[in-house]
Amino acid sequence: MTATLLVVHHTPSPVTRELLEAVLAGANDPDIEGVTVRSVPALSATISDVLSADGYLFGTPANFGYMSGALKHFFDTTYYPCLDAVASRPYSMWVHGNNDTVGAVSAIAKIATGWALENVSAALELTTADKAAKDSCYELGGTLAATLMS
């Protein structure tokens, strides 16, 4: 049986796109078997995507001290229909901001708590897209995917 890792993201800038690519590379590491990785932009992700996934990675820029409007829209449209159906599934997140990621991380964590998701890796709060940041994103993707291996 194959598990599915759903990566829901809003990556409008080259920097956030590079971080997403690192997350996906880690999640698709050749040592990880039995996990399908689905990358879906936040404005395209559906209730069905959430319900059919076994774990989640959320990625967003921090805009004005909060998650992107696109990721907020995703949560607005999926929260109640998925409530009580996704409890105990693993999740984590990465947030890129020029200087402040705290509000975005806090907001996503509150939603994940409402869904009763299990946080399996500390949120990545990034202000750069240097090699260290990309390596951390690779590790995050790998960690979440490995968590889903049977």
Domain CATH for 53? 3.40.50.360
Instruction: Please indicate, yes or no, whether the overall pTM of this predicted structure exceeds 0.75.
Output: yes
When divided into structural domains, the chain yields a total of: 1
- Start-to-end CA span in the chain (Å): 8
How many of the other CB atoms lie within 10 Å of CB of 36?
Answer: 15
- Give tens-digit pLDDT for 46-55: 999 999 999 9
Domain boundaries, position 65: 3-148
What is the rounded average pLDDT of the residues 74-93?
98
- Give tens-digit pLDDT for 8-38: 999 999 999 999 999 999 999 999 999 999 9
Written as one letter, the residue type at 27 is A
Q: Say whether pLDDT at 99 is over 90.
A: no
What is the rounded average pLDDT of the residues 55-67?
95
